[in-house]
Homo-oligomer: A and B are copies of this chain.
Amino acid sequence: MVAEAAGVSKMTASRVLRNEGGFSPQTRDRVLAEVERLGYLPNRIAAVFSGDQKSTFIGVSIPDLGNEVFTHVLEGIDRKLSAFGHQTVLGMTQRVAGEEEKWIGTVLSWQPAGLILTGVSHAPRVQQMLEAADLPVVEIWELSATPFDMCVGLDHEASGRAMGRYLVSKGYKHFGYVGTHHDAANAAAARLSGFGEAVKAGEGRLKKQLLLNDVPGFYTGYYGVEQLLSSAPETEVVFFQNDNMAMGAIQFCQAKGISVPGDLGIAGWGELPIASVLPYRLTTVRVNHLRIGQAAAEKLLLRISGDSVDPVTDVGFQLIEGETV
């Protein structure tokens, strides 16, 4: 350690650096002066290694950053974590099956203080690794009654059901859904499931469910609704996987002279900022994405500092009764 060139033992220097007491003010000043002079930076790798501690890293896995909702979640996480001296180690995994498992192995080898994982379904090996690693884990986005450890999210199926019921209550009979195709059971699938259930219970018909092999963006909504209408022109209202897709659909309708909601009702999900510029309010489901991230980070930090934590947080959702249905 360079700072003991200041005439003290490395132990004393270490104590000063960590400000844990047990040194005189003079010593302190002498050490800090040398630190400053030499531009000394502590080696946290060595510290973690030494103390058999965990690092201050938090591994955060999200499907991808292209999806705007997850950037908000991530921002919520990182803001909170960095305020408490932790670092986010990113993992964009869900693009390829099996990536999560690989990523978790890597990130665990860095002795992270905790993990935040998107989704509640993981490979069996992942479960094993997590158990063996014995660290705080928060699963986010979807809700699970039996989380691996902790969980922050919302009941996607209920949100779809709520939207279905609402649309039924508006008198619609012929429903459509446009989303994108996902490999596994996931949140969007749960929404569709709840939606379909409510439609059925309301004696409506979910005539057309379009699952496109594309990303859930504006353009996908644009051509998705076009495709849906051409094959099921009797559709009265369409529920979209997210607001981006709904916005694309609205633009399509505008371009084609289809009046919304007169000719076609449109509902989104997620309440993304883009919808705020419409001259009318988009019917959608509000979810506080940032709050999911913050709550997840908070839970993790509490657990790391040894507090007891309520394992499951339901951040809920709110149906926005807009003017597009």
Contact = CB atoms under 8 A, between A and B. Distances in A.
Interface stretch (A63-71, A187-195, A229-237, A300-308): A63-71
A78 interface: yes
Interface in A11-54: 39, 41-46, 48-49
A200 to B, nearest CB: 32
Given A90-B90, A92-B78, A92-B79, A218 B277 contact: yes
Contacts of A176: none
B78 A71 contact: no
A274 interface: yes
Nearest to A73: B65
A256 to B, nearest CB: 9
A111 B64 CA distance: 27
Contacts of A252: 277
A158 interface: no
Nearest to A125: B39
Interface residues of A, number: 58
Contact of A75 (B39, B64, B251): B64
Interface string A264-281: 000000000110111100
A268 to B, nearest CB: 13
Given A41-B105, A219-B277, A247-B274, 15 more contacts: A42-B109, A43-B109, A44-B110, A44-B111, A45-B110, A46-B49, A65-B65, A65-B72, A66-B71, A78-B90, A82-B91, A89-B90, A219-B273, A222-B277, A247-B277
